[in-house]
Amino acid sequence: LEPGERAIVCTGIAVEIPEGYAGFVQPRSGLAARHGVGIVNSPGLIDSGYRGEIRVVLINTDASEPFTVEPGMRVAQLVIAPVASVRLVEVTDLATSERGSRGFGSSVRD
């Protein structure tokens, strides 16, 4: 991966995630800290119905150093977690909350 380049990396791994669970492909902190390599769509979601090979979209954020992905290299980690199945209902109004509609950075206190 040249600086700024992204690529889909095949892992050679396929999993069968149980119904009611999902897999979340996460970056490895060491790759980010040492080489500036991360996952573009982090976390990458693998739902329970997917049966194909896990692929990871890596990006090299280092400004000057290329990064080589070697066979067998651990480029990501997979977290399996339960997920709720919900039915969304369209409404005209939402209940009030302490935070309300305050967005980015609004939970930070000075």
Summarised one tens digit per residue, pLDDT across range 66-103 is 999 999 999 999 999 999 989 999 999 999 988 888 77
The pLDDT of residue 85 is 87
pLDDT, tens only, 4-57: 999 999 999 999 999 999 999 999 999 999 999 999 999 999 999 999 999 999
Answer yes or no: is 92 within a domain: no
Q: How many domains does the chain have?
A: 1
Q: Is 95 inside any structural domain?
A: no
CATH value at residue 21: 2.70.40.10
Residue 11 structural domain? 6-82
- Token code pair at residue 43: 């976390």
Domain membership of residue 10 (yes or no) is: yes
Among candidates 35, 15, 33, which has minimal Cα distance to 24? 15
The candidate with the shortest Cα–Cα distance to 69, out of 80, 53, 56, 88, is 56
Could you tell me which residues come within 8 angstroms of residue 63 by beta carbon, excluding any fewer than 6 positions away? 3, 36
pLDDT at 58: 97
Q: Could you tell me if residue 43 is inside a domain? A: yes
Q: Is the pLDDT of residue 110 over 60?
A: no
